[in-house]
Every structure is written in structure tokens, then in C-alpha cells.
Structure 1
Amino acid sequence: MNFSGIYWMGPVFDMSGYGNVSRNYIKAVKSAGIPVFIHPTGEYHAQIDHGTRQWLQQASTSAIGDRVIFIRHGLPEIFDQHFDIPNVVKNVGVTLFETDRIPTSWVALCNQMDEIWVPSQFNYKTFSQSGVLPNKLKVVPYGIDVSVYNPERPYYKYKAEGLTQSFLFTYVFGFDFRKGYDLLIQAFCEEFAVNEPVGLILKVYIHSGHSTEYVMGEIASCIPPERFQKQVFVVLESHTHDQLISLYRSTDVYISMDRASGWGMPVMEAMALGVPTIAIRSGGAAEFMNDSNSFLIEPEDRLIPVSEKLQLSRPAYYQGHHWIDVKVSNVRNVMREAYGNPMKREKVARQAAYDMHTKYSPQRIGTIIKSLLLSTD
């Protein structure tokens, strides 16, 4: 297909995972030399620094020509909205989902687009098995700005009140019951004694209308009182980009306990920075994590219903859905291995940084996007 440019609609000023992904896709598109006009959606978050805002404004151009690819990035509800964009030759939806299927209402919304981009083979399978036409589905991996997430980048030692442990696990996540923080806290507290020099930092973003008090109450209820803010630290304060990178780099092992993973951008960021990582061998993360660049937790060979809290709070999205089953003992074993094996930590971290920088840079993803858009199939 001949095309002249891209009209990109997405949450580029949002601190959410969707916002992060949208910005990285635009960097990939620009690296491929494709003109792009940026139509921001979603919230405008103050944590997006001035430099990023300025770059987005400079990256956007109205000179996208007379054969335009209209790309909408976000939940499929926006696929059904009418926009009077001239000269559109192809409509593309970019989205993902985390469980074993997609919400029923998404199927028709996806099928009305010319193409649906998903980041992994995991989502190719879950979308097609849910009823999205396979010929519309294209796998376009998420990229990462390797000039920012670079092991050579200077950083300062991260500090938190009461933090004295010499070895740190860290998990960065947006508050959601599917993130498995309860499983992680249980595994950590069962595996590591109070007197061991090991700490766990939970850096939590709050969204979906939850209050700070509610989120802290939910997470604190999983932590034994003698460990709360003494060995297990919950950090709710907003962090700048530099603070977040310093947190990653001050960490001995980054761990994700996402029981329904669409991709895993924080894991990818830690890997690109050369930090050893742990995740469950499942979902979108399995697209870029393997035994040579990560510590992987084996799930059970079965699926179980998603959390009742999720099914009750968001039935349109999660009613009847399933996710992986993970034994606490498996989490404990991998955490202990990562703690006790510095040689393997160094080996997987080095391989992880190499893989992220060579396979998921904006230039690499830009090449994939350009090739896909030029395809006539």
C-alpha cells in the first residue's frame, strides 16, 4: 500500500501504560521517517515533563499528505467513534487485553477496523479465539526508548524512609487486583525472615478513581504489621521520570507479579537498564522474556477464574474470564534463587539489556511498522 503519513490518536500525555506505549510508538514511527500528526486523547498528567511535551509538539505535523493511515490507540470503544479525517486509506486500531479472552463487546468493534495491532502472539491468540478475524490481526511489538533506558545512564541511590536493607526487590504497577501484589507479598513474607537484609518496594500508581486511603488500605491489609514500611514499603507518591529510573537502578531484582499480563512495560524498562528481572512465564511478557534474560516463575498447567473483586467491579470486562494459576511456592523459589545467585543475576541482566536494545529500540519497531504499512496483504 502507498501511504503518505499517519494520523495518530492516542493518550500521549497520560502517565498510564497506554500513554507510555503511545509515545514509544510515535518515536518508532518518527525513526522510520514517517510524517505523523498527533491527536491527544485521555488525561494530561503533570508528571509528563516539559521536554517530552515539547518533543511531542515538535513531532506532530499537519503535512501527512493525501493517503493517510488513521491509527487509534486505546480501548476499542474509540474505534466506533466518528472522526472527520480527510484522505484516510486505512483504519487501524491498536489495543491489547490481559486475560484468556477479550470483552464480548470488543469483537464487533475490532472487526470493523481494517487492521488491529496487538503486541504479542499471546494476544493474537486471545483476540482470534474470541472472534476477531485473524486476517485483521497484526503483531506489532511494543518498543522502548533505549537512549533513555540505558545501563550507562547516571542515577542516584534511591532512598525511602525506614529503608535499611542491603538487597531490594521492586515492583512498579498501577493499582489493580490483577497485578498480583497480594501473591507477591505473601511469597516474600513467607520466604524471607524479618532479620534477613531483604526489602520489597511496591511503587504504586493510582488510577481508576481510587482514593489514596483505599489503595493503601487494600495493600496494607496483605502485609504483616511488623513488616509494613519496615521491610515491605508501599510508595504512593508521584515520581518524576528520573526518580523512577533511579528506583529501577537502585534495585537488585525487579519483579512483576502480574497474573494477567498484556505486555509489561515496567519489566521491559528494568531489563533495558540492565536490572535482573522476575516475571511469570505467561501472557505478553513471554514475548520478550526467556530463560536467558530473566528469572521466570512457572505457572500451573491450568487457568482459574479471575479475582472475584475484578468480576464484580468490572463485569463488562472480566465476567467469566480466566487467568493463570500460580503457586506461592513457585514464587518463593524463584525469589530465593535470584537473591542467592549473583552470577546468574549478572548474566541475565546483561542479556536482557542487549535484547531490549537490539530488538525493541524505536528504530527496530519503526522498521516493523513501516514494512507492515507498505504491505499489500
Structure 2
Amino acid sequence: MTCTGVYWVGPVYDMGGYGNVSRNYLRALEAAEIPVHIAPTMASSHRLEIGEETVQWLEKLSTGKIGDSPVCIQHGVPAHFHMHVPSMSTKKTIGITLFETDRVPQDWPSQCNRMDELWVPSKFNYDTFSRSGVDASKLRVVPYPINVTRFYPGRPYNQIVFSPPLRKFSFLYVFGFDFRKGVDLLIDAFCREFGRDEDASLVLKAYVHSGYTPEKVMSVIRSYAPEERLFSQIIVIVEPFEEQELIDLYLNCDAYISVDRAGWGMPAMEMMSLGKPAIGLNWGGYTEFMNKENSVLIEPEKELVPVDAKLQSERPEYYRSHMWADIRQESVGKAMRELYENRSRRERIGRKAAFDMHFRYSPAAIGNKIKELLGMSR
């Protein structure tokens, strides 16, 4: 079947990970000159955070002229795939999703198998979805693109005045606040590895999702961090940031670190695209775009462990009986120390990271892959 355009359903105005991914896929469609009609999901309350320029771009990109053989692409969790009915006839329905444990939630395979195709961003998720009962013949690996016109080495940025100032070397972690993000593990690893008098800072930028408040997030992080380290060596930011402010934050810090067992890790990808060194897990979606040549990998233990008990209790429909990587604070500290001590390694992997992100994961590169999957000539 030859596709003439895409009817895109996704959280394009959301500031979180799903929204960022939706917008980057749309940039890939734009780069491939595939006409697209955008049907936003979720409330557009984050329009101000994504910036007026991005809002105007989305509005300009969306068109009703997507031909007589468009496909519908539904981006989000599988339970939402069937909530939006396209306002026009489409020839095929494709779902895009991911999950971060060793399997998918119990009701996902049946929901995914109702799709004509299912796109996941990594070989890791191809394996976990197919093992869980999703029809392997429907699965395609389509990595997440990165907006290389915004994230590139040497781009101008604004200096951020921190009070107190950052120390000589600073690690950054950007995450949507959730107990699965491992911020407790990271704080513990940092405090054990670096003394109070060492020239190292840890900057935590938390996005506050619905169900939490900035005060609650600060309270939880305070419970993890020694009082004498908080705001002197461990900097916490919970205020909303626009994209330019986030880029400024990336470029004011020296290295990125993530201990999130998430399905991908877009902030790590953004930092790498800027030519900055990054640390990620040698497990999950990170393995799709991070390797020993372009990053520092935290090695998990050989055996998987049960997902955090709090998550299993609070969200049993997602996490009950699931397993994920066992990450020890010693391994996290070792990776941080390696970057801190080894300037030549930082510079080498930063250059390779930028090259890989721009060459392999640009909107043009991923757009060509999508075009092939949709049966459209280049």
C-alpha cells in the first residue's frame, strides 16, 4: 500500500517525554515531506512551556490535505489507541509506544494486536513486546529522532547564574518526577562517591507531572539528600522550563547522567547531540543509541530484580510481577568518577556522541526510514 499522508494522533503539546517524542516524529515527517494532519491528545496546558514558536510550527505543519490514502498513527499508551476516531477515512492504523521493564502490562498485547502495525523505538522493546504476546509480524523498530537544528555542538546559549555557584564539574539529570526514575539511587551514589569538599555538583531538573506538586517533589528529594549537601552541592530545579532554558541548562553543565530504567532517555540524547558526554544504563532503550564509543555505560548486575515495591503497589496494572535491571550505587559512582577524572575520555565520547546523533537520528534519517515503511518513494 502506498501512503499519501499521515493522520497523527498524539500529545504534541505536552512538555513531558511523550510530547517531546511526538514533536520529534513530526519533524521527521516534515523532513521526509510527508503531509500530516495533527490531532492533539491530552490537554494543551503545556503550550506555554513548549514555546510559542513551537506552537506556531505545529499549527502551520498540520494540514487537511493528506491525500486519499492516509494512514493513522496513534502515539501514546495502547489503552489510548482506540479513544480517538479519525475525522477522515484512513487505510491503516499504526500504534507507537514503549515500555521500560522486561515485559508489557497484561492488557497491552491484545490492544497492540488490534493495530495493523506497532512501532517501538528499540530492539529491546521489540524483544519485550514480542515475548509478551504482541504479534512479531506487526512490530517495527523506529528509533526516536532528535531535533538537530536545535541541539548541536557550539550553539549559542545563556550563562545561568546559580546561587551558590556550581562547582568546577557538574553532572545533570533531567527527569519527569516519578519513583521509577531512580533519583534516590543517584543522590546516594553521588554522595558516596564525591566528598563534600570535592569540586563536583549534581543538578537535578525535575518536571512536575499531574498528581504531584513542586512542594511534594522537594519534600521527597529532601528525604534522599543530606541537608548539608542540598543546594550547596546538590541543586534541585522544579520550576517549569521552556526549551531554550533547558538547552541553556544542558550547556551550563559538564556531563549528563541518567539512572532511569525508561524505554529511551530523550534528555541523554539531547545532551549528546550538543556534544556533551553522557552516562546511561547498559540496559533497555539506551542500548539503541548509546555504546562504549559514544558514552559511559553503567553496567547492571547479571540478574534482573523485581520492580520497586512502591510502583508494584501503586500501579499494579502496570508493574505487578515485572522485573528490571539491578543497578548498584557502586556502579553509578564508578561511571561518574570516570567522567570526572578523565577529560580526554569526556572530549572523545562527546564528539562521537554528537556525530552519531546527527548522522543516525536526525529527522531526515528517521524520516527516510518512515517513508520506506509507509511505502512512499523518496
The residue identity in structure 1 corresponding to 2:59 is: Q
2:224 aligns to what SS in structure 1?
coil
Structure 1 CA distance, aligned partners of 2:184 and 2:320? 21
Structure 2 CA distance, aligned partners of 1:172 and 1:313? 23
Structure 2 CA distance, aligned partners of 1:283 and 1:145? 22
Equivalences for 1:136-151 in 2 at 5 Å? Answer: 136-151=138-153
Structure 2 CA distance, aligned partners of 1:28 and 1:219? 37
What do residues 11-61 of structure 1 show as CA deviations (whole Å, max 9, x unaligned)? Answer: 111101000000010110111111100001113202021110111111011
The residue identity in structure 2 corresponding to 1:79 is: F
1:88 aligns to what SS in structure 2?
coil
Q: 1:288 corresponds to which residue? A: 289
Structure 2 CA distance, aligned partners of 1:313 and 1:210? 14
Q: 1:344 corresponds to which residue? A: 345
Structure 1 CA distance, aligned partners of 2:290 and 2:58? 30
Q: 1:21 corresponds to which residue? A: 21
1:355 aligns to what SS in structure 2?
helix
The residue identity in structure 2 corresponding to 1:347 is: R
Q: 1:225 corresponds to which residue? A: 227
Mapped contact 2:277–2:347 kept (Cα < 8 A): yes
Structure 1 CA distance, aligned partners of 2:285 and 2:84? 30
Mapped contact 1:180–1:257 kept (Cα < 8 A): yes
Equivalences for 1:141-290 in 2 at 5 Å? Answer: 141-258=143-260, 260-290=261-291
Structure 2 CA distance, aligned partners of 1:164 and 1:350? 24
Mapped contact 1:68–1:89 kept (Cα < 8 A): yes
1:47 aligns to what SS in structure 2?
helix
Mapped contact 2:79–2:108 kept (Cα < 8 A): yes
Mapped contact 2:145–2:361 kept (Cα < 8 A): yes
Q: 1:11 corresponds to which residue? A: 11
Q: 1:51 corresponds to which residue? A: 53
Structure 2 CA distance, aligned partners of 1:275 and 1:103? 35
Mapped contact 1:261–1:282 kept (Cα < 8 A): no
| Structure 1: segments with no counterpart, 5+ residues | none
What TM-score results when the alignment is normalised by the length of structure 1?
Answer: 0.97
Q: 1:30 corresponds to which residue? A: 30
Q: CA deviation at 1:202?
A: 0.4
Q: CA deviation at 1:253?
A: 1.0
Match of 1:73 among 72, 75, 78: 75
Q: 2:332 corresponds to which residue? A: 331
Structure 1 CA distance, aligned partners of 2:52 and 2:30? 19
Q: CA deviation at 1:219?
A: 1.1
What do residues 229-264 of structure 1 show as CA deviations (whole Å, max 9, x unaligned)? Answer: 111111101112111101111111110011x22011
Structure 1 CA distance, aligned partners of 2:165 and 2:281? 27
Structure 1 CA distance, aligned partners of 2:37 and 2:361? 23
Mapped contact 2:7–2:86 kept (Cα < 8 A): no
Mapped contact 1:311–1:319 kept (Cα < 8 A): yes
Structure 2 CA distance, aligned partners of 1:212 and 1:262? 25
| Structure 2: segments with no counterpart, 5+ residues | none
Structure 2 CA distance, aligned partners of 1:148 and 1:237? 22
Q: CA deviation at 1:308?
A: 1.1
The residue identity in structure 1 corresponding to 2:19 is: G
1:89 aligns to what SS in structure 2?
coil
Mapped contact 1:163–1:231 kept (Cα < 8 A): no
Structure 2 CA distance, aligned partners of 1:82 and 1:41? 8
Q: Give percent identity, aligned residues only.
A: 52
Q: CA deviation at 1:82?
A: 5.5
Q: CA deviation at 1:152?
A: 2.1
Q: 2:315 corresponds to which residue? A: 314
Structure 1 CA distance, aligned partners of 2:71 and 2:337? 49
Q: Compute the RMSD of aligned alpha carbons.
A: 1.3
Mapped contact 2:275–2:353 kept (Cα < 8 A): yes
Are 1:353 and 2:354 matched, yes or no?
yes
Are 1:129 and 2:131 matched, yes or no?
yes
Are 1:97 and 2:99 matched, yes or no?
yes
Q: 1:364 corresponds to which residue? A: 365
Q: 1:41 corresponds to which residue? A: 41
Structure 2 CA distance, aligned partners of 1:144 and 1:19? 13
Q: CA deviation at 1:84?
A: 4.6
Mapped contact 2:9–2:84 kept (Cα < 8 A): no
The residue identity in structure 2 corresponding to 1:31 is: A
Deviating above 3 A after TM superposition, structure 1's stretches of 4 or more consecutive aligned residues are none
Mapped contact 1:304–1:324 kept (Cα < 8 A): yes
CA separation of 1:261 and 1:82: change in aligned 2, threshold 3 A: closer
Q: 1:373 corresponds to which residue? A: 374
The residue identity in structure 2 corresponding to 1:265 is: M
Structure 1 CA distance, aligned partners of 2:161 and 2:131? 46
Mapped contact 1:168–1:198 kept (Cα < 8 A): yes
The residue identity in structure 2 corresponding to 1:148 is: R
Structure 2 CA distance, aligned partners of 1:314 and 1:212? 22
